[in-house]
Amino acid sequence: MTAAVSQEGVVRIAGEGSLRVHSGRRRVRGGGLRKTTLAIAVALAAGAGVASGAADGARTSQRAATLSVMTRNIYLGGDIAKPIPARTREEFEAKATELWNVVRRTDFPTRARLLAREVRRYRPDVIGLQEVALWRRGPTGVKDGSATPARTVVYDYLALLLRELARAKLRYRVAAVQREADIEAPTSLGYDVRLTMRDVVLVRRRTGLRVVRKFGRNYNARLVVPTAVGTFTALRGYAGVDLALGRQRVRVVNTHLEAFLDQTRVAQAQELAARGGPLRTSLPLIVVGDLNSDPRGDNPGAYRVLQSFGLRDTWVLRHGSKPANSCCLAREDLSDPTPAAFDHHIDHILVKPRTRVLAQVVVGTDPRNRSRSGLWPSDHGGHVAVVQLPRR
């Protein structure tokens, strides 16, 4: 694979439990995060000015305010790169059909129930979602890509998740949505399939917490991928909100950085922190998302960019060097029998300025959270943290 970067930053590819807030350190072993980790029970009523009962997550007092945040990549449903190496249209259509069949097997309506169960357990105030796919199909007999846009909705991951949250009597509003890659391609089934990707911020409806402003945009740095049926542009971006929690304010930015090329991923992180970018604010700042960058792995560059801007990793602030692995399953169809494949840390919650992290856990990596048929909620786990907002 070779890559070239244009002046605009476009990269062109050639080639092929109960979570408990606690003041002391507690040893956690593997999946034993559950012992300190399974729904947010904020138990610092006296010491931090936080009322007990994590069902409320964010609390205000004269002394402090806390906010609970979740980052969750909910998995688009299959390996989007599968058709790219195809050399002919026929081969591409066959691979696209394989991908579409996997998307159907990974059954987001079922996975949405599992994800809603997680949300019910932790009740985070703010949720940053990545890979919130919208899958549509075109009319039978028409296979002309975006010339005839596919409009029949097959799976709207956002609508399906909101439905399951409502069924669980969880009140969340869609605070921000950023549309990203919008790709339509032919299959061997006689019709096109279209994928629209989105990053989404959900905010819990509760007294004292309100959305002051929403924002979002696509990065200038993006992949442009040639295939046997045309060229696709892999747009990515961010969605964010400014929140008021009582008298305090905070900015939350949710993003999903490029997965397939490190130089693009680093350029996107630089855009976040650049003059005019969403991280340039006087407000306390929380960044959540799938950064595709492991500080201890092969591609730490994007993480280091954000770290050099002054963002601090909440996991490190709370747990030091303990493992925080939440990625990723090995099997495309989410049928892994064990969580052994969760072996790196690319899902992050970052804060600026440094603040007190009252609790943080990895979620979605316990085999007991699978469906009866053995499906995991996603190919990723996620993170939930409770942070104390700095007073301004």
DSSP secondary structure of 128-155:
EEE---EEEE--TT---GGGS---EEEE
Give how far the C-alpha of residue 93 lies from the chain's centroid of Cα atoms, to the nearest Å. 29
The DSSP bridge pattern shows strands 192-204 and 126-130 to be: antiparallel
| Domain range summary for the chain, segments of one domain joined by + | 17-389
CA distances 352 to 6, 12, 127, 243, Å, are: 32, 34, 18, 15
Helices 301-308 and 262-273: crossing angle in degrees, nearest 10, is: 10
pLDDT, residue 299, reads 93
Per the listing, tokens 């809603």 go with: 116
Percentages helix, strand, coil for the chain, rounded to the nearest 5?
20, 35, 40
Render 205-244 in DSSP notation, one character per residue: -BTTEEEEEEEEEE-S-EEEEEETTEEEEE--EEEEEEEE
CATH architecture of 17-389: 4-Layer Sandwich (3.60)
3-state class (DSSP) for residue 368: helix
Q: Which of 296, 300, 288, 287 is nearest to 344 (CA)?
A: 296
Measured from the Cβ of residue 15, the count of other Cβ atoms closer than 10 Å reads 9
Could you tell me the mean pLDDT of each successive run of 10 residues in the chain, 392 residues long? 44 40 33 37 32 41 80 98 97 98 99 98 98 98 94 99 98 98 98 99 96 98 96 98 96 98 98 98 98 95 98 98 96 96 97 96 96 98 96 72
User: How far is Cα 94 from Cα 117, in angstroms, rounded to an integer?
Assistant: 36
Q: Which of 120, 126, 33 is nearest to 326 (CA)?
A: 33
Asked if 57 and 386 touch (Cβ cutoff 8 Å), the reply is: yes
Q: Dihedral (C-alpha) 341, 39, 66, 279: value to the nearest 10 degrees?
A: 30
Q: Which residues contact 368 (CB under 8 A, 6 or more apart)?
A: none
What pTM, to 2 d.p., does this model score?
0.87
Q: Which residues contact 63 (CB under 8 A, 6 or more apart)?
A: 48, 49
Which ranges of the chain would DSSP assign to H, the alpha helix?
33-36, 89-105, 108-122, 157-167, 262-273, 301-308, 314-319
